[in-house]
Amino acid sequence: MENKRDMSALRRQELAHIAAFWLENVRKRIKESSYIKYGNLLKNHILPELGELYVTEISTERVDRFVRSKLLEGRRDHRGGLTEKTVKDILAVLKEVCGFAVQLGYEIPCRFELIRLRQRERQIRILDREEQRALGAFLFQDEGLLKTGVLLSLYMGLRIGEVCALRREHIRYEEAVLQVRLTMQRIQDPEAHGGKRTKIIVTAPKSGKSLRDIPIPQPLFGRLLALSEDVPDNAYVLTGRPDRFIEPRTMENVFKRYLRECHMPDINYHALRHTFATRCIESGFDVKTLSEILGHANVNITLNRYVHSSMERKRENMGRLQVLY
């Protein structure tokens, strides 16, 4: 009789209770930014629609309907659907919560492996060779610190957060090597009351593969060497000071200003990294080396997301078929 009551209690447990238990359980094992992200996905998307369901009611059909609704009309401002990347993140959190419930003894009927998100090809506008040369010439005109930061992304593929967190001590001048050890990001502050609701954090990158050493090209090495004079080791490269940094949002705005000043097309900062990867492949880099320079978990990410085929490259490859005529 006692066992029947226990099983009945298990069946009646709502997803919201399990989710709260799961979130606190993983808190000590994940980065603060991940904890906040998971909490927001639960609060803003999962729990409003599924939170009151008993965990035994989380079926494949119900989750599939939930996913489709998020893709079509999931935005909180009611202006359309969420991106597939966001919905993928939501689904991953829901799967983790349900997996945690199974460990606690609940039976979850949902078969997550049957729910597929068709990833649309997201076109990222990168710079062609002429545009890259023009932007590089503009950035090399003077030795500004922020222009140096943009050059690190354009010619070394650094992420914006990695550029902002870079300190002088991460540059091994005797070996001409740049060490990526930290990243900077703005996250929501759950303890904030009124005023600012976000904060800047500097942490190790989420993936171990992002910790990497990159040889510095000679033109950039000379520039970094000149900027390092009379600068303490713990100073940020973008400011030359240990007590002042440039955050990613500010860096993005500065980059947009540079584009306007040199009459370049409007692209986002991350397109610099894509441009770098594409030029590397065009120049004959082997994919494994490029993947390590970019800090990717595997070479598939490098090939499928970061390498773009230009019309110039297409013409060159099609030209090789001349031997067939």
Q: How far is CA 132 from CA 53, 87, 138, 254, in A?
A: 53, 34, 10, 17
Among 83, 114, 145, give the residue marking a domain's end. Answer: 114
The answer on pLDDT for 208 being more than 90 is no
Residues 48 and 178 in one domain: no
**Dihedral angle over CA of 248, 250, 253, 257, nearest 10:** -120
pLDDT in tens, 133-188: 999 999 999 889 999 999 999 999 999 999 999 999 999 999 999 999 999 999 88
Residues 143 and 214 in one domain: yes
Once rounded to an integer, what is the mean pLDDT over residues 105-133?
A: 85
pLDDT at 8: 47
pLDDT at 193: 66
Domain CATH for 67: 1.10.150.130
Q: 122 pLDDT band (50/70/90 cuts)?
A: low
Q: 120 pLDDT band (50/70/90 cuts)?
A: low
The answer on pLDDT for 108 being more than 90 is yes
Q: 123 pLDDT band (50/70/90 cuts)?
A: confident
pLDDT at 6: 47
Once rounded to an integer, what is the mean pLDDT over residues 206-221?
A: 92
Give ∠ CA 4-6-12 in degrees, rounded to 5. Answer: 105
Give ∠ CA 164-205-33 in degrees, rounded to 5. Answer: 90
Residues 49 and 74 in one domain: yes
In a domain, 89, yes or no: yes
Residues 140 and 272 in one domain: yes
Count structural domains, the chain.
2
Q: 202 pLDDT band (50/70/90 cuts)?
A: very high
Average pLDDT over the chain, rounded to an integer: 88
The residue ranking higher by pLDDT, 25 or 80, is: 25
Q: Residue 65 belongs to what domain range?
A: 2-114
Residues 14 and 144 in one domain: no
Q: pTM for this structure?
A: 0.74
Q: Are strands 183-188 and 198-203 parallel, antiparallel or unpaired?
A: antiparallel
In a domain, 66, yes or no: yes
pLDDT in tens, 36-62: 999 999 999 999 999 999 999 999 999
Q: 266 pLDDT band (50/70/90 cuts)?
A: very high
Q: What percent of the chain has pLDDT over 90?
A: 67
C-alpha R_g of the chain: 24
